[in-house]
Amino acid sequence: MDESDEPSLGMDLGPAPGAAAQAEYKVLARKYRPSDFTGLIGQEALVRTLSNAFATGRIAHAFMLTGVRGVGKTTTARIIARALNCIGADGKGTGPTIQPCGVCEPCRAIAESRHVDVQEMDAASRTGIDDVREIIEGVRYAPASARYKVYIIDEVHMLSKQAFNGLLKTLEEPPPHVKFVFATTEIRKVPVTVLSRCQRFDLRRIETPELMRHLGNIAEKEGVKIEEAALALVARAAEGSVRDSLSLLDQAIAHGTEEIITADVIRGMLGLADRGRVLDLFEKVMSGNMPEALTQLGELYDRGADPMAVLQDLLEIVHFLTRIKVAPGAEGFFDGASSEAKRSAEMAGKLSVPSLTRAWTMLLKGLFEVRDAARPVQALEMALIRLAYAADLPPTDKLVRDLMDGGAAPAGRGAPAPSGAPGSGPRMAVSNERPQAMAAVQPMAMASQAPVFKSLEDLAAFAQKNNAPLLRFQLENNVHLVKLEPGRLEFRPARHAPPSLAADLAQKLKDWTGTRWLVTVAREGGAPTLAEQKQAVKQARYEAVLQQPIVRAVLDRFPGAEIMAVRDVAGEDTAAPMPESDSDSDDE
């Protein structure tokens, strides 16, 4: 009995209007899935290697396909299965071919995922050793009708450790009639023992121009008119994924009601902002014009721009400006001939690399805040305000260097003011003028009163006095002094001394005295460190007190008693009874 003879429950109303058309419709990603290697775009290296392998008969027994989502891993696996089993349109094919016909029974059965000898397994849902045992048992039997038995395992990285171990032996020495094709987006999670047994192919992202041509051809076949700018937006949003781009194009065709799909339609559909307006926004933020920047951000948001998309565009602008800065003529976010590209070049000339890298860091931090915020647009506003206030700050290393040298760090923007507002520009100049003058005068005054260091104690005391406590600590605990004379310092570093200690000392001595010092490192010799000397003095005092008759009598009278401290009459010094060296040196 066929379907038409089956009894119906209730009245037979017949097929719903348009039901046949709806049942036949396939999304573009499935409709235009390649059936042979000529349909793969952007994977020339893979096609060339496989073509040569099939032509010479050097076909591997296992393939590992890796790449980001939607670049064609599963499609390539099915094409390989067809190429291995195609028998030609006339049914007389005798071996694997790089150009499967697509019309023979094996080709059609594999395309429809119904061939008994080509098994696809989703490792995301079948991860255990029991699933792999089915494969191990199945490889022992010859194919039912095909030339090769092919196992396609998608997302193979999700197999358990036991499943991978169970597959190793079969994967290394499979029967001649068995081929494995693995696909994964996380190649680093696949054990090396498995990778070494496979022929690996890295499927790359599709470049935007190539993806645009592909989408344009499909739109033409579908009878859809779409602007070049709209194609560019779809291709960029897909981030190199063919499947994502086709899904977006499918959505755009359904979304648009006009005769032609415009860039504005795509922006509204994806929640994108006009890139020229995002460039304006970045320019206002970096110049401190926050009132207008926030107003423009509000307008973008009201027009449907997604805060995450705006922030991602800002990051791409910063990356593009930095590339222009370090490599003039570099291409990227804007077309090289566009007015935005010329504006970007001018803007890059006004910004320093440190300010651009700081902007990148702050926007990247803001990306996670916007993603997790209950109100993303508010998080984006706060990120832009932070960036505006920090835009004219000096580099971090300069701030640290100025503070370590005892100078005043240049002041940043007190508050971003609108461009042209009274006092905005002069205020920045005035706030920086005095600290810079102080920093310029201070080294001269210090050089005119250059200190004289007669001992390591003098040097450590001077470091403490000049706000260099870390250097004082190193001088006291990690320096075995060999020689100290004007302009020269030689020492043996302790075991835990930092590698940069000699260079740090040379720089500080030059800053403090105004003259260049020769600081050398000795391999042996040197006096005990200051910490060791201090400890030795405490130990000597402890031993001297321990030999006092009255002290010995007390200790003998009270077994287990200990000397807790040794103090002089004035109470100016103390020593623990069993002093332990707090030095980091290697002299124990």
- Select from 257, 259, 205 the least CA-distant residue to 236: 205
Q: What is the pLDDT of residues 276-324, one digit of tens each?
A: 788 889 988 988 888 999 998 998 888 888 899 899 989 988 988 888 8
Check residues 319 and 548 and name the one with the higher pLDDT: 319
Dist CA 8 CA 219 (whole Å): 42
User: Average pLDDT, stretch 447-461?
Assistant: 78
The answer for residues whose C-beta is within 8 angstroms of residue 63's C-beta and 6 or more apart is 77, 80, 179, 180, 181, 182, 198, 199, 200, 201
pLDDT at position 238 = 84
**Amino acid at residue number 144:** A
Between the CA of residue 101 and those of 20, 54, 83, what are the distances in Å? 29, 15, 9
Q: Given the structure tokens 């200790």, which residue do they identify?
A: 555
- Select from 357, 353, 386, 354 the least CA-distant residue to 369: 386
Between the CA of residue 464 and those of 66, 406, 459, 473, 508, what are the distances in Å? 58, 12, 9, 9, 12
pLDDT at position 441 = 36
pLDDT at position 23 = 56
pLDDT at position 259 = 81
Mean pLDDT taken over the chain: 79
Q: What is the pLDDT of residues 228-242, one digit of tens each?
A: 888 888 888 888 889
pLDDT above 50 for 178: yes
pLDDT at position 11 = 39
User: Average pLDDT, stretch 335-342?
Assistant: 60
Q: What is the pLDDT of residues 474-519, one digit of tens each?
A: 888 989 998 888 888 999 998 888 888 888 888 888 888 888 888 8
Among 166-175, 327-336, 397-406, the range of highest mean pLDDT: 166-175
Dist CA 60 CA 51 (whole Å): 12
User: Average pLDDT, stretch 398-405?
Assistant: 60
pLDDT at position 394 = 61
Question: What are the beta bridge partners of residue 479?
Answer: 493
- Select from 172, 168, 244, 253 the least CA-distant residue to 211: 244
Dist CA 553 CA 530 (whole Å): 34
Dist CA 473 CA 536 (whole Å): 18
User: Average pLDDT, stretch 152-173?
Assistant: 91
3-class state of residue 54 by DSSP: helix
Q: What is the pLDDT of residues 348-365, one digit of tens each?
A: 888 888 888 889 999 999
pLDDT at position 5 = 42
User: Average pLDDT, stretch 161-167?
Assistant: 91
Q: What is the pLDDT of residues 179-222, one digit of tens each?
A: 999 999 999 999 999 999 999 999 988 888 899 999 999 999 88
pLDDT at position 332 = 58
Give all domains of the chain, ordered by start, each with its CATH number.
28-202 (3.40.50.300), 208-270 (1.10.8.60), 275-391 (1.20.272.10), 398-446 (no CATH), 450-588 (no CATH)
